[in-house]
Amino acid sequence: MSKRAVTEFPINETLATRWSPRAFDPSVILTPADLSSAFEAARWAPSANNLQPWQFIVGFRGDDVFTAIANDLSGFNQSWAPDAGALVVAITNTVTASGRANAYARYDLGQAVAHFTIQATSDGLMTHQMGGFDIDALTLALEVHEPWEIVSLIAVGSLGDPHRLPEDRQASETGPRERKPFNEVVVRGL
Ligand SMILES: Cc1cc2nc3c(=O)[nH]c(=O)nc-3n(C[C@H](O)[C@H](O)[C@H](O)COP(=O)(O)O)c2cc1C
């Protein structure tokens, strides 16, 4: 099964091989040490004014945080994401030190998560980001308080058997990945 990006120009190998599986191997146990480098990569992401408006909450399969996150996943995500070894909550600080709204808070968190996913891929882990969850319930369950806000989740683990997924989801799990053509992305100048 090749999920490697079919690129119009050469790119870094780790970027090309990262993809988002839904079939995770439920027998794989992750420990904090397995994720240290990925979080370290996130820590070194750039941010506006170097405010670093991100934090992460991690649950490992079987612990209370993992269970709380898994319970608040939306319908389809609930069917596959709990097989991951860890579920990560990505949260952002929406205000600057002077109390003004930080217009770049989500942008910067996204960069930190991108760093996380690339380092994790390089370390042999699979990641799958999610926006499908009950944000109000999870905010309450994890006691996330203003000015911090939950933005997204990341399932982290090892690749599992695609046959674990419902039949109608197996084709997209094993099929090629798609992107808009290059000339629809860089629209002027090249
Ligand atoms: C912010 C964000 C939210 C996402 N939410 C979900 C989700 O709730 N459920 C899901 O199955 N995939 C989700 N995805 C995964 C995307 O569908 C996936 O990254 C995209 O189809 C590209 O596939 P690739 O990562 O394999 O290249 C999300 C991705 C991002 C970045």
Mean pLDDT of residues grouped by 10 in the chain (190 residues)? 91 98 97 98 98 98 98 96 98 96 98 99 98 98 98 98 93 95 95
CA–CA gap between residue 148 and residue 57 (Å, rounded)? 12
Q: Six-digit token pair at 2?
A: 């090749």
* Ligand 1 binding pocket includes 20 (Cβ within 6 Å): yes
CA distances from 102 to 55, 89, 149 (A): 15, 20, 12
Please check whether residue 13 lies inside any domain of the structure: no
CB 117 within 8 A of CB 63: no
What pLDDT does residue 1 have?
54
| Residue 3: inside a domain | no
169: Cβ below 6 Å to ligand 1?
no
The atom number, within ligand 1, closest to the CA of 3 reads: 26
Q: Is residue 128 part of a domain?
A: yes
**Does residue 127 have its Cβ closer than 6 Å to ligand 1?**
no
Q: Does some domain include residue 154?
A: yes
Domain that holds residue 72: 30-158
**Phi, psi (rounded to 5 degrees) for 142:** -95, 0
Q: What confidence score (pLDDT) does residue 173 get?
A: 96
172 CA to centre of ligand 1 in angstroms? 12
E strands present in the chain: 54-60, 86-93, 126-130, 148-157
CB 78 within 8 A of CB 70: yes
Position 62 in a domain: yes
The distance of Cα 147 from the centroid of its chain, to the nearest Å, equals 21
Q: Which of 1, 14, 20 to mutate to test the pocket of ligand 1 (most atoms within 8 A of CB)?
A: 20
CATH of the domain at 41: 3.40.109.10
The reported pLDDT for the residue numbered 2 is 78
For ligand 1, atom 9, name the residue with the nearest CA.
130
Q: How many domains does the chain have?
A: 1
Q: Is 77 in the pocket of ligand 1 (CB under 6 A)?
A: yes
Name the residue with the closest Cα to ligand 1, atom 22.
Answer: 20
In Å, how far from its chain's centre is CA 173?
A: 17
Looking at ligand 1, which atom is closest to the CA of residue 81? 11
CA 90 to chain CA centroid, nearest Å = 8
Q: Is residue 1 part of a domain?
A: no
Residue 82 lies in a domain: yes
**Do the domain assignments include residue 183?**
no
Q: What is the pLDDT of residue 190?
A: 87
Task: Check if the beta carbon of residue 30 is closer than 8 Å to that of residue 86.
Answer: yes
